[in-house]
Structure 1
Amino acid sequence: MSRVIKSNSVLTFILLCFWSTLALAAPEIEFDHSKTGFDLTGMHRGVSCESCHQAGIFQGTPKQCMGCHLQGKIAASTISNGHIVTNNDCQSCHTTVQWSLVRVVDHSAVIGTCVSCHNAFSAEGAPSTHPLITADCATCHRTSVWTFARFSHANAQAGQCSTCHNGAFSDGKNSTHLPTTESCDACHTTNAWTPAHFSHDGVVPGACATCHNGSISEGKNSTHLPTTESCDACHTTTSWITSSFNHANVVPGSCATCHNGSISTGKDAGHVPTTESCDACHTTISWITSSFTHDNVAPGQCATCHNGSISTGKDVNHIPTTESCDTCHTTLGWTPANFSHSGVAPGTCATCHNGTYATGKNSTHLSTSESCDTCHSTNAWTPANFVHSSANYVDHGRTISCSRCHQSKPEGASNAWSNSIYAPDCAGCHANDYEPDEHRNASVSSLRNCAGTCHKSTPEHRATKRSW
């Protein structure tokens, strides 16, 4: 009996080995899962069939993520208790390659408020340094980028700025901020942190350097004039520049202590050479016009300064001369000038009096090639004095303008007679003065020489007699 049992056991073992060998030798079957309409990608490729197809049931296996990845459904990783509330499918945010990190969140499908997720449990929430606020995240933040945040100060209470702007929650006063207990909104606005607008109304006069010391706020620069005065001695709170400096306490003659070209305006490159102090010519009321005293200037040395570079010199129309300025001009006034004609050669007037260098003949002057000094004198340009050399000209005993006789241009002997047929006798000019009633039985022609024809013994028709 025992021998039979032993033989059966051996036979059974051999059969098991045989079938095992056949099973191991059978080829592994490849199944194309994409034909089911659900392609296996990512982590799904390593999942065993029975994990999804439980109890050997293939038909009706879910194809949507939620069909498996929900608590109590099939053997798949499930949504955690802290997952955000959403009606989106898993693949909207997750991939089959990696469950986390989440690639993107479609906020349009999120159910609830921002803090429903952004609570530091489901998703990143407000850090410990976040300003204390009950408003929803979307009030300041956007779904496209968490920072920069946009905050509306519309509901912020005046004077409460430091509740947030304390250096912990949000930017506060930096280390160089001027010492003050005022609220931020006393100087700053919600539109821009800078520039700030500071009211100096409560600042004690003379205390400017408490802030304007170069550290807390702008102070004196390296080229500022040396002074122990407070800023408000010269500057105002309206504008840092232009400043107003009081020279009342400045010692006369010490101008160059400041006016040296470095600290303040000094002599420019075209200044007259001098060792005098600024206040010898300039005043504290106005840098220009200056007043220069010529008392110590040596006569004949004018061109040392009046050379056109340092100070006004001869202009292009000045008469040609090597004389010094003070020969004609005075220190009281540049014009009028006083020119001495004592050294001028007679007949050379037009060298200067040509209308360019000095006054010349005007457009109504009689035509003549004579030199100016033939008629004019150096004492006065008018009246002119012309001496007629012709024997036909009778001295009339008084000044008569040229145009009384020379009534057309150019003036000359040919147009000197108004009735030339009687020239050169008196009637040549005075024919129109003939009165027939007084000159009975006589004609103009017969009485053409008024002064000699009729009244030889009486002076009534003399040319020098004014009452003709």
Structure 2
Amino acid sequence: MYRLPFIIVLICLSCTSLWAQSPHGNGLKIDCSQCHNPDGWTVNYQSTTFDHSTTNFTLEGAHKNTDCKSCHSTLVFDNTPNDCLSCHTDVHEQSVGNDCVRCHTSQNWLVFNVPEIHESNGFPLIGAHFSVNCIECHQGESGLIFTPRGNECIECHQTDYIATTSPNHTASGFSTDCTECHSPTGTGWSSDGFIHDFFPLTGGHHIQDCSRCHDVTNFSDISPDCVFCHEDDYVATTNPNHTSAGFSNDCAQCHSTGPGWTPATVNHDFFPLTSGHNINDCMACHTDGNFSDTPTECVACHLDDYNTSTNPNHQAANFPTDCASCHTTNPGWTPATFDHDGQYFPIYSGRHDNEWSSCTDCHTNPNDYSVYTCITCHTQGNTADQHEDVNDYVYQSSACLQCHPDGSD
């Protein structure tokens, strides 16, 4: 009767001993049948029900069909590292870091995102760089060791820089930052892709022969001032003569980069060339060929027009010689706007508004507008009656204006 408990204890001790003999260690506490079957201990990877994602390392791609022993060499699973280099030999020898997933996936070792990798590193593979073999820049002991290079152009192109003779980059003191002159999207070093934004090559400046402007032995000391290249053009110009006229030698003040120096657009804001003044013949105003001392007063050009005007006679009427006081720059001197109310006597406002029909109603001498009459309309009888109590009353037009300068009673 005492033998039964002893047998039970023996069985329990036997089971405990068998459990302790598991090659997977004490950390794996799952049912053996999740991986093994009654036919033996061989694992059928297609039928195993063990969920590897519970280990924080999901089996994807090529890892799904990998023999467990390839990673778990001791069969003790709970201390297996999950970094790539623990299982995979770094054929790049740390030249690209130790994070394999930056370039590789679990499907295979082929790399399809080289451009994206380069862009994330700050050096996009564009232009000629797109078709360059990796080892042309990343030169190492083998084709799999990608020695790191800097992102500066000179890191790869110092030999090109030194060997260039047309122009000689070293002698000219050119920048070693190739992108200052060459487009990174270009496929070669030709001048077609040359960036000349510091001095835009537009119009007549759009030339391919650098030697037209540059001393090809030294590109660094050329001046951007127009006269540096165009002094001969300035001196030789006769229509108009730029030298005698004292024109500025900054060509851009009047000219664009259009070929042939035309059209020229003079910045004439100091004397706006509008309407009748908008003429292309500079000599019409600058008659002596000297553009630096031409007066801006109207009468300097229009004295003859002033003297010959008869309707009305400006000279006889003592009109001001400042044409702008009555005229705009419209051709033909019309329309003319004479400020009679403000300068002389109100005839468009006050008591005299609509009381006259022609200038000659008051200015009876069309050859002398300084002569005027009031007593033609204001008869002597009515005027005398209105001034019975006014001392020193005189029936004269000048007396009328003296006492009634604004036309009021």
TM-score (norm 1): 0.36
Task: Please tell me whether Structure 1 or Structure 2 has the larger radius of gyration of its CA atoms.
Answer: 1
Larger RCO, structure (CA 8 Å, separation 6 or more): 2
Higher helix share: 2
